[in-house]
Structure 1
Amino acid sequence: MSATLIRGYEVVIGLETHAQLSTDSKIFSGSSTRFGAEPNTQASPVDLALPGTLPVMNRGAVERAIRFGLAVGAKVATQSIFARKNYFYPDLPKGYQISQYETPVVQGGSVTFFVGEREHRVNLTRAHLEEDAGKSLHEDYAGQTGIDLNRAGTPLLEIVSEPDMRSSAEAAEYARALHALVVWLGICDGNMQEGSFRCDANVSVRRPGAPFGTRREIKNLNSFKFLQQAIDYEIQWQIDLIEDGGEVQQATVLFNPDTGETRAMRTKEEAHDYRYFPDPDLPPLVIAPTWIEAVRAEMPELPRAMAERFQREHGLPAYDAAMMTQSKAMGRYFEAAARACGAPKPVANWLMGEVSKRLNAEARTIEDSPVDAATLAALIGRIADGTVSNNAARQVFDALWAAGMPAAAAEPLAQVDALIEAKGLRQMNDSGELERIVDEVLAAQAKSVEEYRAGKDKAFNALVGQVMKASKGKANPAQASELLKKKLG
């Protein structure tokens, strides 16, 4: 994989992503996973490993792991082992975390995504089941730290990539694709503000062809923007250190979004520092092949399969098809609009252009769009039949967006037509009237006519612009161009 060098260095990035699984109860107990409860009201004796308690595996968590493994083309292990990962933090009530180490439930697989219009693939090392720790609260405690153990025991799927990424942009797009996939599968709600999806980025730099450099791990990044900013800062920090004669030391670092800087939290532990050993209270996790096949039979159409179908059935380019399958809702919206107006490529263009621009500006999702698929299809249909120009259609779209969803009884085409008439945007289809305007423009723009005949193509564009101005934007640009060329010989 070719990589863009930064100050003569190649960047190497791998991500470890924690996806909170969408079960109602915790991974080894019946405690609720509901977000926002009063501190320490959802931590049971099992979550705290009090004497005499035993963990019991949550079947729903295992099924979600199987679903993810199938979606990324990984091997789902028919037998995997739970281990105790030993470390001592105030928010880890057991003094160890139950995780998987040597034999994870999901092994291998890959995720594909686009950076710009170029497709990338990142290979996965593994995805393993584990429990979350509690949470340390540093605010509103008069300089002290509070401990909330509600999250302790919450089921996580930790997804570990190979160090295949070579820029912060690749890392951010990989994280977006992974986020979209776990939400699509229904195994995680993807709420980054609540900590349901968070990333740790391992970043190192090296001269081209040299062995991997020493990595530093940026912990708990819960926004794609912060992920990219943190990696960019870390890259420059490591290069500056090396250029000044220093050596990068393996460490765990935190990102401060207020300053845009990373800072070291502790030296990075190696696996042996955690003293992993098999959990004596949990037998090996055995997944029968029949269970895997039952999950496979219930899998939804996956984003890549849907994208390939959109290419095959609707003739979309690969990039457009990938953009139309960023979420199930986007795929449904596109397909409904494309079938309604019979113009898949224009629908994709509008969704990637005007619609996405508005959604992003207002932090909405496609489900919240004030313009539904049927109404967008009606508008695109009016462009196709020459009723309105593209520029006029954007004015109609603005009005539709501002008006919000119409009453259930409102007919989309009638609503679009009413706005076209109210704003006087109907395109001129009277050939006689258009010819009169063209003749007047040619008579008034003798200089542009002379320049065009002298071989200056820009002069022709100026003449088209004058026709559009004289017609108050109602002339059909293609018809105006054709008529101008005819009259100019």
Structure 2
Amino acid sequence: GSLRCDANISIRPRGQQKLGVKTEIKNMNSFRSVERALEYEAQRQIAMARAGETIHQETRGWVETKGITVSQRSKEQAHDYRYFPEPDLPPLLISREWVEELRAALPELPDARRARYRSEFGLSAQDANVLTEEKALGDYFEQVMAASNVSDSKARAKAASNWLLSEVVRLLKANAITIQSSPLSPASLANLLDLLDKGRINGTQAKEVLDEAFTTGELPAAIVEKRGLKPPISDQGELNRVIEGVITSNPKSVHDYRAGKTNALQYLVGQVMKQTRGQAKAEIVQKLLKAQLDEDPST
């Protein structure tokens, strides 16, 4: 293949905004030619301006062998080309009202949506960027928010973004489908988040419910009811009794923890979660367990 291009150039005094009269350069067939032609023409116009000469609007040709531009045509106004109206094309009258109507009908552009997610919902730059990379994903997120009747919209937005970009996207990829084809509706995800907010289920249970809702299309609340899932154990007295039993049954892990092996604590937390069938909140279990281990070294 070969390159053939034109270039327009004009100059202006340093510090001024208004450009001078332009010239068009033709007959350039390489990037090197473009560079040389523009450099030559710029210097030619600068020399003319400094000499007080008038720069005319014209078309000039680049002579590669001589490294100069030469005048080819000075007719550069519309009438010089003998333009005339096309009788079959009536004038197109564009009113200001029509322009505003079209502007109002334009969809929200990604940059504007990204900025709104950060200001209105308090999302991180990373989450806002991912949600706006694909319009359908952002639309889904907005529908989740529309289905959420909560007082703290920023907290809900953060939770919706986290679950959508992690667990829902995980299920989409595993099933090789798009968000538009997802059997999990935005209202269902909002329902799942409601159950979490009300303490009806914990995070572990929520993931199991989400998997089933994605497969069956059932509402999470119906799945919780069908499975007979119980709310997470929040009574600290009950949890402490379970923790005491786990400490008594696992003396080696207790000794390892007190010897500085922090991984032993996670093992003990896991045993408590097992005893409570996942109905306790892991962060609360860890706090209570650590308190017992640290305050009762004789155990």
TM-score scaled by structure 2?
Answer: 0.59
Indicate yes or no: 2:123 matched with 1:316.
yes
CA distance in structure 2 between the partners assigned to 1:315 and 1:298 by the alignment = 27
Tell me what 1:330 maps to: 137
SS in 1 for 2:213: helix
SS in 2 for 1:461: helix
Instruction: Give, as a single letter, the amino acid of the residue that structure 2 aligns with 1:472.
Output: R
SS in 2 for 1:334: helix
CA distance in structure 2 between the partners assigned to 1:304 and 1:416 by the alignment = 34
SS in 1 for 2:143: helix
Indicate yes or no: 2:280 matched with 1:475.
yes
- Identity percentage of aligned residues: 38
Relative to its length, the structure with more strand (as a share) is 1
Tell me what 1:381 maps to: 194
CA distance in structure 2 between the partners assigned to 1:477 and 1:444 by the alignment = 19
Tell me what 1:3 maps to: none
1:134-162 Cα distance to aligned partner (Å, 9 max, x none): xxxxxxxxxxxxxxxxxxxxxxxxxxxxx
Instruction: Give, as a single letter, the amino acid of the residue that structure 2 aligns with 1:350.
Output: W
The one of 378, 398, 403 aligned to 2:216:
403
CA distance in structure 1 between the partners assigned to 2:223 and 2:105 by the alignment = 45
CA distance in structure 2 between the partners assigned to 1:102 and 1:380 by the alignment = 60
Tell me what 2:240 maps to: 435
Give the 3 Å change call, closer, same or farther, for CA 332–445 of structure 1 in structure 2. same
Give the 3 Å change call, closer, same or farther, for CA 297–382 of structure 1 in structure 2. closer
Alignment RMSD: 3.2
User: C-alpha displacement at 1:429, in angstroms?
Assistant: 2.8
Instruction: Give, as a single letter, the amino acid of the residue that structure 1 aligns with 2:224.
Output: I
User: C-alpha displacement at 1:348, in angstroms?
Assistant: 0.7
Relative to its length, the structure with more helix (as a share) is 2
Instruction: Check conservation: 1:311, 1:317, Cα contact below 8 A.
Output: yes
CA distance in structure 2 between the partners assigned to 1:441 and 1:378 by the alignment = 35
User: C-alpha displacement at 1:288, in angstroms?
Assistant: 9.2
CA distance in structure 2 between the partners assigned to 1:289 and 1:362 by the alignment = 49
CA distance in structure 1 between the partners assigned to 2:214 and 2:242 by the alignment = 33
The one of 215, 223, 230 aligned to 1:419:
223
The one of 229, 240, 262 aligned to 1:457:
262
Instruction: Check conservation: 1:386, 1:476, Cα contact below 8 A.
Output: no
Instruction: Check conservation: 1:337, 1:377, Cα contact below 8 A.
Output: yes
CA distance in structure 2 between the partners assigned to 1:364 and 1:349 by the alignment = 19
Give the 3 Å change call, closer, same or farther, for CA 443–287 of structure 1 in structure 2. farther
CA distance in structure 2 between the partners assigned to 1:345 and 1:287 by the alignment = 49
Taking the TM superposition and a 5 Å limit, the aligned residue runs for 1:163-178 are: none
Give the 3 Å change call, closer, same or farther, for CA 297–378 of structure 1 in structure 2. closer
TM-score scaled by structure 1?
Answer: 0.37
SS in 1 for 2:133: coil
Indicate yes or no: 2:261 matched with 1:448.
no
Indicate yes or no: 2:271 matched with 1:466.
yes
Tell me what 1:350 maps to: 163
CA distance in structure 2 between the partners assigned to 1:467 and 1:348 by the alignment = 30
Tell me what 2:54 maps to: none
CA distance in structure 1 between the partners assigned to 2:104 and 2:242 by the alignment = 64
CA distance in structure 1 between the partners assigned to 2:175 and 2:228 by the alignment = 28
CA distance in structure 1 between the partners assigned to 2:213 and 2:126 by the alignment = 28
User: C-alpha displacement at 1:327, in angstroms?
Assistant: 3.5
1:388-437 Cα distance to aligned partner (Å, 9 max, x none): 22121111011111212x5xxxxxxxx42332243343322343332221
State which structure, 1 or 2, has the greater radius of gyration over its C-alpha atoms. 2
